[in-house]
Structure 1
Amino acid sequence: MAAKCFLLFLFTSAQLWAENTITFYGSDSRINTPILTFEEKQTLSAEEVLSTGHFQQGIYEESQGFSERAYWHKLTFPKLTSSDTEKTIHLSLNYYLIEHLDFYLFHGDQLQNHWKKGALDDWQNDASHYNGIWVPISLSNKNNTTLLIRKQGNSPLLTPFMLFDDVSAETQKVQQLIFWTFIISSLSILLAHNVFVFSLLRQPGFVYYLALNVAIIIALSVITGFNRWIFSPEINQWIIRNLFTIFGIGAWILFRFSLHFLKEIHIPSPQSFVKRYGDVFFIAFLFSTQIFSVKTGALFFGAVELLMFVVCTYWGIKAYRKGFIAVRFYLFSWFVLIIGSILNTLIFWEVLPINLLTESIFPVSSLLQLLGFSFAFADKAKQFERNRALQALTDYSTGLPNRTYYFDKLPALLPQITQNTPQLALIMIEISNYPTLSQAFGPAKADSAICETIKNIHKQVLRMEGILTFPLPNKSAQTLIRITSTNIVLISTTPDRIKQQVLEIQHIFDTPTLINKIHFRHQYKIGSALYPSQGSNLDKLYQNALIANHSVTHLSGNWATFTDSLKNNHAHQLSLITQLTDDIQLEKLHFHIQPQVNLADRSIIGGEVLIRWHNQYLGQVSPAEFIPLAEQTGLIYKLTDMLLEKVFHWASEHPRLLETQRLSVNISALDLLQEDFAKRVIKQIQSHQLSAKKFTIEITETSVFQNNDIVHNNVKLLHRTGFKLAIDDFGVGYSSMQNLVSLETDELKIDQFFVMNLLNDPQSQTLCRNMIDLSKALTIISVAEGIESEEVLQLLLQWQCQVGQGYHLYRPMTPTDYLTLVG
């Protein structure tokens, strides 16, 4: 609507030419008669204009523009021939915005009739106004007939004039009435429908669409002439006087409608100048319509509508390129709006003929525009419904299918998939260090790192052959399903190539991820299960792949395939977790001590505390079996607290022991990531009145400690209290040189893997000797684990290793036996 008004007023404000002719429609052939025009310098009566007015053709175009002056037009008809006793022809106008419009009919120099048909005139209850502006011209057989038309007002244009005989006039009036009825009925029905839709949807943007409906009804009623048919004279005159204000409000409504229609896809952006100051701009324009002349207001309005057309079309195209399909009807409405405006303007240029069809272009295009916006709203609702369905089936961060897709959507597709590929393999990938990352760097950065890795895996899998694709509601296809934040699955259609496919995925994990400017490699586990031999449905297949995934250990590698023995082992692990939870609560776990020896003189200088668990149902359970389970399930925190409490309590009962001995206690790396860990340990040791200087805390798996404030604060507080810190199993796992400094390490424990192979493996000899030299250079104590023979001990002595432990020296023993040994 707004752009239609723009093109119309752009035409009129420029005072474009119109042919100086009268068109006659009737039984005779078409005739063209020039229109003579006279400019009124002073107020004159019709009789004075007829007798003294200097009519000419040259100022006709001037009369068609914006002007406060009055212009007179003269149409002269010859007297009837003797064969015609009387004849009436009818003059009709298609433009209804001239404020004051007077028609004077003369036979010779005698005034026969006077009609007032201006937009601000009182038509004196003339019923014919319901059919538009119709002036009956009765022709005389005695004198020439003259029709004087006086035009005064700010609105431009008067032509085209159309003349009809009686039959054609009646036909034209009926057609006009039918046409108006159709337009008004259509707009009213559409408005009623939209009010009903709004009552259901209650979308804020829909209010602007309803207001746009009303604005278009008002604008069309004025432009096409049926305003007097639906409004009272008072309301009609108010509309005419404030026409550009109404057009400005309509343009603002369309602007607000566009903002609400496109806001869900963030077009325009919140920082957009047009969005931030658009309302202020329209308010300024509305004020200007009350200050400046109508001509100036028309020019301003033309500029506003041109800007709106450019901006809204740009927004629409941008939204469509972003995948907002519903905007196609929005763009269609703008296209119809422009085409309708251009064609309507061509009528005034007389490029197109004036008939019912061409007169229908402007109202019909307005109606189509409204329908287009209505369809756009409906399409938007459908798209959002599709988006909601898509969101229910996809992961927000990666756009991949989610858990719901796997368990609800995929089973329905499985029969179709297995028709072509009866053998499948489910590959499950778990990024297992997410909790550690989250504690070390914060949840946001941990999520970002995980998502980046998953996207990299997806890019790699897209290039792999033999991987099943999963169709989504938006017609895209993905190859990964993100079950949880750390678990993803893919389905191989070539189980015989699964080893190669897993190797390609592992290559992704070998590429470091940058977190806080630190290159970091994710820890991960991969499990797989075959369909249908190891799972006849997706639920069972997932369960078995999960069991295989959880069976992965540091020693077994990163990938495990499902077997029946794994299933039995999984049930055993569940039993272990249940029994471990109960026994920790009941403090049924105990500890042994393995003596540590000064290698130079073979004297016992302390011992390492080793946790032990004997369950009444399971028997003796190895720490290598239950410690990883405790870390996975979060039981490790309670386990550490329980162990420290037992050790401190025992040591407090034998105070003389600590006069000559030290005790080393192992903790998990996860313990140091707890913010209050050091405070709890200090509180425990103080409650037993023990000296922290007699205790060493051994830590493993230290890769996550880099640049972690929580770890550094715990280490600093433990050191300040007097505890010594040792890096356990140095040389294997995830320990690093940097941690020797960042943890302020007091001891370096060389892993038994290197010590036990010293006699047969030159590489182990090199590494072991270098670690001892490193300890000497850093002035920290070197401790060798796993000494199994005298030859190994002598070799370590030769390299000046300071402390050792192992079966060749002493086996782990009960606290009572340890007391006896050192007593």
Structure 2
Amino acid sequence: MGTIGPLFRALLFTLLFCSVELSAESNKAIVLPVSESQSLPAMLYKEALKEKNLTEIPSFTLERGRGYWLLFDVNSTAQSENHILYIKNALVDEIKFELLDSDFETIQLKKHEHGAYFDSIIPHLSIKANSGIAWAAVYLSNNATVTIEPTLIPEDEFYSSVEEHVIKIAVISVILAIGLAISAAFYFLSRQVKFVSLMGYLMCMLVGFLSRKGVFLLFGDPLISQYSNRLSAWFNLLAISFACLFFMQSRYENKQVVIAKTPLTSVLFILCSTTLAASILINTLSVYFFVVGYTVLVMLVGYLFLQCKEIKANFTHLSMVAWCSLLMQSLVLLSTVFTARSLHILNDGLLVFNTGVFLATLLIQDRLRVLQYNESLTHDDETGLPNKQKLLDCLQHKVTDSEAHSLVLFRPVVLLDARANFGYEYANVQIKRTMANLAQQLSSMNSLKIEANELKCHYISRLDDSTYAYVVNGQLELSQIEQFVCVTTAVFTEGISHNSSQLVNGVDIGVANYPVHASNASQLIQRSLQALSTKALHGERWHMFDAENSNLAQYRLEVASYLQEAIEHNQLSLFFQPQICLDTGHIHGAEALLRWHHPILGQVPPDEFIPIAESTGIIFELTEWVVEQSLLYQKEITAIYPEHIISINISAKDLLRKELPVLFLTLLNEYQLKASNVMLELTESATLSDGVNIKTALNDYRLIGLKIAIDDFGTGYSSLAYLSKMGFDEIKIDKQFVMNLEYSKNDRTICRATCDIAKSLGSFVIGEGIEDIQSLQILKSYGCEIGQGYYFSRPLGFKDYLNWLEHNLQTTIDTDVYHMN
């Protein structure tokens, strides 16, 4: 060991000053209580030996405020090899060593140049062999009662053991440092306060551990030396407080624990700060303050343990181990302060064990979060059923194995009604109960287990909020599908009851088969959804995928996509069909008709793309385009013919939009147009959809000054009372009653009645679809004021309409004789 440098030895001694566990040789000594630390004369030693016998002193208790000289017999020990005498397991306030010969005279040995430095850090006595040393005297004094263990061992054995224990201390420090790093990583990833508490526990334990091992004595500050024990005790107290906060934040889900109307955080802060302040201000009673502080803390740990166990807040076996080890560590620290014995083996062992348990808790919780996240990726949160991804994986396995199967999607309408009427919580309970009943039925049939493991088995999957699915094994057989459909509908026949309310509704079912209808799993789900979305006809309970319906649906999607592009790239156009006053032959105005010529689809008729626009929500943009273009053209037309009235068709979905009246008002002001020269044409079915709201909306348009016409009259179910209530400015007879007017008695009756009704309500009548002179004459005889149709002109593009208008503007038309060209 002679190769170990002096400074390295000092560091080793510091780390192990209070913790080395060596097999000491015989420690025969006598104890001499004294009042001061001055060296004793030889005579006093001799008299003491006459009065007292040398006895073994494995440990000795220093009373608070008293001094003692311990006289050790090293005559026989120091003859063979060098020895070390030091005080194990305690840091005392004052310690002094002396070497004596056989006559009790002080021996002055030449010290190493760093000897004084070593003594200031680790008080010890090096006894050299064959140096004439017979006795070793040690003076000890401390402000608090403490138990010490004088130890005399061979020098080589001491240094060998020091190296082993340095490794142990380094390992414990590394473990704590790793724990700190892991806790910090968890905090920066999750920003959860509990990880700050865990970092506080580990940091305080590390400081207390290094202080207990005497590392801070390396700084050589007398103040640190004086308060080293209290520093270790206070940081350990603070560490247990942080551990309590960590468990509270972990197990109580961040809910604050209140003790005597005081939050736990405040209780712990008051406890730690009071204990520290009292131990510093009243130095002589510091031990008692720490005993009280640790006692209260042990009680708090026990209280939190009982509370956590009672409410079963995330309580697991690992939680039980963590709580018990924390309680044990608190008791050991209390015993250390109370008995003035360091109990290093227990302290260090519990420190390592608790660090491991806490880190294991973190890692297990993180693993559980990962498992829960993975579970949420493949399962529905509300019902726990496999979701679309899990179903897709299951179907993909079947496709890979080329096994025929049918996918059955069903949408229980009653469950949606239950949510709307009874609330989500009750509805979700009913969903779980109903799906469990259906799964029980499917388990006895030829149904595929979508998920099967040791913990659970599922036959049903949840695709979305309202759609569920199960898989039927085998080739497509209608009789088998019918059997499954019957079982599914039977489960939902009873409906859902809540208190005295009973909800009963049907189940929509769609079926597709692999490989008949689809070539892969994704396509199979798509085809099943298409079958599910098919409208029920003639009481059908379910629908098989139909390629024709699929092509139609695909075409509708293409039209919707192209229509959006048409609006953005100005592919749409407006045509104008003139309206003529039948009495005078003068031009009344024109109806703006929307036309769309697509470069790929060709001419797409309005009755084809308008419903698609309404169902996809594009109708709003489409209507705005039509209104803006119509009023822009009206501005140019009124420059030629100021009394011209333009009729604009408005969709039922647009009528109730608050933005549309604002748009009309803005454009009318911008283009300086008369609102009375703009007629809004609404279909009869649109006005019947929601009478109260429609009337309110119509009043908003009338306040602007716009006129309102009911289009396609006769195709709906309007009553006289309804027409009177709405107060339309114009009633437009649908062309299906006009085009065959000459040959149909029923059509003539309808047209005559319509004209009579309009007269009684004070409304104008427009006859649409006039194609011959006979129809014109009949309508005129019934009192129809305005005519529109191919007899006068076909729909014209804007420029053509302007030319037509200029050509016929000054001509009074004999509507009984002439066509307008």
TM-score tier, shorter chain, comes to: 0.5 to 0.7
CA distance in 2, matches of 1:704, 1:90: 105
1:709-728 correspondence runs (5 A): 717-723=700-706
The counterpart of 2:287, out of the listed 287, 295, 298, is 295
Determine if contact 1:527/1:547 at 8 Å carries over to the other structure.
yes
The counterpart of 1:464, out of the listed 416, 438, 445, is 438
Unaligned ranges ≥5, structure 2 = 1-22, 53-59, 108-114, 129-133, 474-480, 499-503, 583-587, 738-745, 772-786, 794-812, 816-821
1:507-526 correspondence runs (5 A): none
| Residues 311 and 472 (structure 1), Cα distance of their counterparts in 2 relative to 1, 3 Å cut | farther
- Which stretch has the larger CA shift, 186-195 or 471-480? 471-480
- Which stretch has the larger CA shift, 647-656 or 301-310? 647-656
Kindly report the root-mean-square deviation, in angstroms, between the aligned alpha carbons of the 2 structures.
7.4
The answer to whether residue 215 in structure 2 is matched with residue 232 in structure 1 is: no
Residue identity opposite 2:328 in structure 1: I
- Which stretch has the larger CA shift, 42-51 or 627-636? 42-51
CA distances 1:163-187 after superposition (whole Å, capped 9, x unpaired): 99x8xx9999699657734531421
- Which stretch has the larger CA shift, 528-537 or 645-654? 645-654
The answer to whether residue 119 in structure 2 is matched with residue 158 in structure 1 is: no
Determine if contact 1:457/1:508 at 8 Å carries over to the other structure.
no
Instruction: Kindly state the Cα deviation for residue 456 of structure 1 after the two structures are TM-superposed.
Output: 7.1
Determine if contact 1:191/1:210 at 8 Å carries over to the other structure.
no
The answer to whether residue 417 in structure 2 is matched with residue 425 in structure 1 is: no
Instruction: Kindly state the Cα deviation for residue 368 of structure 1 after the two structures are TM-superposed.
Output: 1.4
1:147-546 correspondence runs (5 A): 151-154=141-144, 156-158=145-147, 177=162, 180-181=165-166, 183-190=168-175, 203=188, 215-220=204-209, 223=212, 226-227=213-214, 232=218, 234=220, 238=224, 241-249=227-235, 252=238, 267-269=253-255, 273-274=263-264, 287=277, 289-293=279-283, 294-295=286-287, 297-299=289-291, 301-302=293-294, 305-306=297-298, 309=301, 321=313, 332-340=321-329, 342=331, 360-386=345-371, 389-390=374-375, 409-410=393-394, 414=398, 422-427=405-410, 460-465=434-439, 466=442, 480-481=461-462, 488-493=467-472, 495=481, 496-498=483-485, 501=488, 527-546=510-529
CA distance in 1, matches of 2:324, 2:538: 68
Structure 2 match to 1:742: none
CA distances 1:718-756 after superposition (whole Å, capped 9, x unpaired): 343134679999xxxxxxxxxxxxxxxxxxx9x956x4x
Which has more radius of gyration? 2
| Residues 532 and 207 (structure 1), Cα distance of their counterparts in 2 relative to 1, 3 Å cut | same
| Residues 812 and 801 (structure 1), Cα distance of their counterparts in 2 relative to 1, 3 Å cut | same
- Please report the TM-score for the alignment, with normalisation by the length of structure 1: 0.57
The answer to whether residue 66 in structure 2 is matched with residue 70 in structure 1 is: yes
1:379-778 correspondence runs (5 A): 379-386=364-371, 389-390=374-375, 409-410=393-394, 414=398, 422-427=405-410, 460-465=434-439, 466=442, 480-481=461-462, 488-493=467-472, 495=481, 496-498=483-485, 501=488, 527-549=510-532, 551-552=534-535, 560-577=543-560, 580-581=563-564, 585-588=570-573, 625-644=608-627, 665-669=649-653, 672-673=656-657, 676-685=659-668, 687=671, 689-692=673-676, 695-696=679-680, 698=682, 717-723=700-706, 752=715, 755=717
| Residues 631 and 692 (structure 1), Cα distance of their counterparts in 2 relative to 1, 3 Å cut | same
Determine if contact 1:187/1:213 at 8 Å carries over to the other structure.
no
| Residues 791 and 726 (structure 1), Cα distance of their counterparts in 2 relative to 1, 3 Å cut | closer
| Residues 590 and 366 (structure 1), Cα distance of their counterparts in 2 relative to 1, 3 Å cut | same
Determine if contact 1:648/1:685 at 8 Å carries over to the other structure.
yes
Determine if contact 1:426/1:491 at 8 Å carries over to the other structure.
yes
| Residues 644 and 540 (structure 1), Cα distance of their counterparts in 2 relative to 1, 3 Å cut | same
Unaligned ranges ≥5, structure 1 = 1-24, 56-62, 115-121, 137-141, 434-444, 512-520, 598-604, 730-748, 756-767
Structure 2 match to 1:22: none
For residue 408 of structure 2, give the secondary structure of its aligned residue in structure 1. strand
For residue 701 of structure 2, give the secondary structure of its aligned residue in structure 1. helix
CA distance in 1, matches of 2:490, 2:702: 44
- Which stretch has the larger CA shift, 561-570 or 244-253? 244-253
Instruction: Kindly state the Cα deviation for residue 71 of structure 1 after the two structures are TM-superposed.
Output: 6.5
CA distances 1:84-107 after superposition (whole Å, capped 9, x unpaired): x99x99999764144335789999
Determine if contact 1:390/1:472 at 8 Å carries over to the other structure.
no
Determine if contact 1:592/1:612 at 8 Å carries over to the other structure.
no
Determine if contact 2:768/2:788 at 8 Å carries over to the other structure.
no
Residue identity opposite 1:339 in structure 2: M
For residue 529 of structure 1, give the secondary structure of its aligned residue in structure 2. strand
Instruction: Kindly state the Cα deviation for residue 627 of structure 1 after the two structures are TM-superposed.
Output: 2.9
| Residues 64 and 704 (structure 1), Cα distance of their counterparts in 2 relative to 1, 3 Å cut | farther
| Residues 283 and 429 (structure 1), Cα distance of their counterparts in 2 relative to 1, 3 Å cut | farther
| Residues 175 and 220 (structure 1), Cα distance of their counterparts in 2 relative to 1, 3 Å cut | farther
CA distance in 2, matches of 1:242, 1:474: 57
| Residues 188 and 780 (structure 1), Cα distance of their counterparts in 2 relative to 1, 3 Å cut | same
| Residues 360 and 618 (structure 1), Cα distance of their counterparts in 2 relative to 1, 3 Å cut | closer
CA distances 1:434-461 after superposition (whole Å, capped 9, x unpaired): xxxxxxxxxxx99xx9999889756643
CA distance in 2, matches of 1:703, 1:292: 91
CA distances 1:549-584 after superposition (whole Å, capped 9, x unpaired): 554499999975421222222233244335645666
Determine if contact 1:103/1:149 at 8 Å carries over to the other structure.
yes
Residue identity opposite 2:521 in structure 1: L
**Alignment length, in residue pairs?**
679
CA distance in 2, matches of 1:666, 1:801: 25
Determine if contact 1:594/1:811 at 8 Å carries over to the other structure.
no
- Please report the TM-score for the alignment, with normalisation by the length of structure 2: 0.57
Determine if contact 1:591/1:815 at 8 Å carries over to the other structure.
no
Residue identity opposite 2:356 in structure 1: L
Instruction: Kindly state the Cα deviation for residue 216 of structure 1 after the two structures are TM-superposed.
Output: 3.4
CA distances 1:675-727 after superposition (whole Å, capped 9, x unpaired): 6322222334553723348635648789999999xx99977753431346799
For residue 220 of structure 2, give the secondary structure of its aligned residue in structure 1. helix
For residue 470 of structure 2, give the secondary structure of its aligned residue in structure 1. strand
For residue 689 of structure 1, give the secondary structure of its aligned residue in structure 2. coil
Residue identity opposite 1:219 in structure 2: G
Determine if contact 1:66/1:295 at 8 Å carries over to the other structure.
no
Determine if contact 1:608/1:664 at 8 Å carries over to the other structure.
yes
